[in-house]
């Protein structure tokens, strides 16, 4: 089970540190072995001394070790903080920041060369969802074009665009169907993301083929995030 928090553009260095400390204390006190991921803003990255089940990763990077890419962050800068997990293909980067599929493939290949864990996000916009499950799957498969699905440190996050930050999660049946179809050809952990909250996380984690969740909004308080880790722990014990 993987429980991941994407901070997006939230938290400061100070509040990130406090958040991570709280989560780390909880994990250590309860001997939790749920795989936990936290993706703070780049300015809040640091050498955190955490339990081995917690990875603090990067939301973004430019596919270079170092170089002249004003405003961007390369792997030299990430390695300084021991970052070994990155998000690629999040819908906000695809749609708001206009990252093209060719840039995503470059980022993917670069991260793969560096040997870090990749959480690769896919998901359809509302109009595609309205066109039915076959359209949804065709859309998602296109997002896998050029992506090496055999990479050993790959995790997939299915995040319907219309469910992200809207408070409107996909139905459990819809999630189940997409994960089932992905599972036919992908042997990697499959996460769901999109308006996951403390109340629905248990049921989502119960869905067949669901190996965890990637959470934005509701995960931004340590208390709520910890509740989700607890839900994953309970799920494992079932």
Contact call for residue 85 and ligand PGA (CB under 6 A):
no
Other C-beta atoms closer than 10 Å to the C-beta of 64 total 15
User: Are 88 and 181 within 8 A, CB to CB?
Assistant: no
Contact call for residue 190 and ligand PGA (CB under 6 A):
no
Contact call for residue 160 and ligand PGA (CB under 6 A):
no
> For ligand PGA, which residue of 175, 215, 228, 231 counts as binding (CB under 6 A)?
215
Other C-beta atoms closer than 10 Å to the C-beta of 82 total 12
Considering the complex, state which of residue 63 and residue 194 has its C-beta at the smaller distance from ligand PGA: 194
Q: Is the dihedral of CA 179, 120, 34, 11 positive or negative?
A: negative
> Catalytic residue at 159?
yes
User: Are 228 and 193 within 8 A, CB to CB?
Assistant: no
What is the distance, to the nearest Å, from the Cα of residue 109 to the centroid of all Cα atoms in its chain? 18
CA gap 22, 107 in Å, rounded: 32
In the complex, least distance from residue 47 CB atom to ligand PGA, rounded to whole angstroms: 25
> For ligand PGA, which residue of 195, 204, 228, 230 counts as binding (CB under 6 A)?
195
> Catalytic residue at 90?
yes
Give the number of residues in contact with ligand PGA, rule: CB under 6 A.
13
Contact call for residue 74 and ligand PGA (CB under 6 A):
no
In the complex, least distance from residue 154 CB atom to ligand PGA, rounded to whole angstroms: 17
> For ligand PGA, which residue of 2, 86, 156, 164 counts as binding (CB under 6 A)?
164
Q: What ranges in the chain are assigned the alpha helix state H?
A: 13-30, 75-79, 91, 101-114, 126-130, 133-143, 172-183, 201-206, 222-237
Tokens of 132: 């039915």
In the complex, least distance from residue 219 CB atom to ligand PGA, rounded to whole angstroms: 7
Considering the complex, state which of residue 217 and residue 233 has its C-beta at the smaller distance from ligand PGA: 217
Considering the complex, state which of residue 74 and residue 197 has its C-beta at the smaller distance from ligand PGA: 197
The stretch near ligand PGA (CB under 6 A) out of 13-21, 41-49, 142-150, 210-218 is: 210-218
Active-site position among 99, 117, 124, 159:
159
The stretch near ligand PGA (CB under 6 A) out of 48-56, 62-70, 192-200, 202-210 is: 192-200
With H, G, I as helix, E, B as strand and everything else as coil, classify residue 162.
helix
User: Are 182 and 174 within 8 A, CB to CB?
Assistant: no
**Among 80, 91, 96, CA closest to 119:** 91
Contact residues for ligand PGA, defined by CB under 6 A: 6, 159, 164-165, 193-196, 214-218
Q: Mind telling me the catalytic residues?
A: 90, 159
């Amino acid at each position: 089970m993987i429980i991941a928090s994407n901070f997006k553009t939230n938290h400061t260095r100070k509040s990130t540190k406090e958040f991570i400390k709280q989560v780390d204390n909880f994990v250590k006190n309860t001997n939790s072995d749920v795989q936990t991921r936290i993706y703070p803003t780049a300015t809040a990255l640091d050498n955190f001394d955490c339990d081995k089940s917690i990875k603090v990763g990067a939301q973004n990077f430019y596919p270079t070790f170092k170089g002249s890419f004003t405003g961007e962050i390369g792997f030299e800068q990430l390695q300084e903080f021991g970052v070994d997990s990155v998000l690629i293909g999040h819908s906000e980067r695809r749609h708001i920041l206009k990252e093209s599929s060719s840039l995503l493939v470059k980022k993917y290949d670069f991260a793969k060369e560096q040997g870090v864990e990749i959480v690769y996000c896919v998901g359809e916009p509302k109009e595609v969802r309205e066109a039915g499950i076959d359209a949804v799957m065709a859309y998602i498969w296109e997002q896998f074009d050029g992506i090496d699905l055999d990479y050993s440190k790959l995790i997939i996050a299915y995040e319907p665009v219309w469910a992200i930050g809207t408070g409107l999660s996909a139905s459990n049946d819809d999630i189940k169907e997409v994960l089932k179809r992905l599972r036919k050809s992908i042997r990697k952990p499959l996460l769901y993301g999109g308006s996951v909250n403390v109340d629905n996380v248990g049921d989502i984690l119960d869905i067949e083929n669901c190996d965890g969740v990637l959470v934005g909004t509701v995960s931004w308080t340590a208390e709520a995030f910890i509740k989700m880790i607890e839900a994953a722990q309970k799920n494992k014990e079932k």
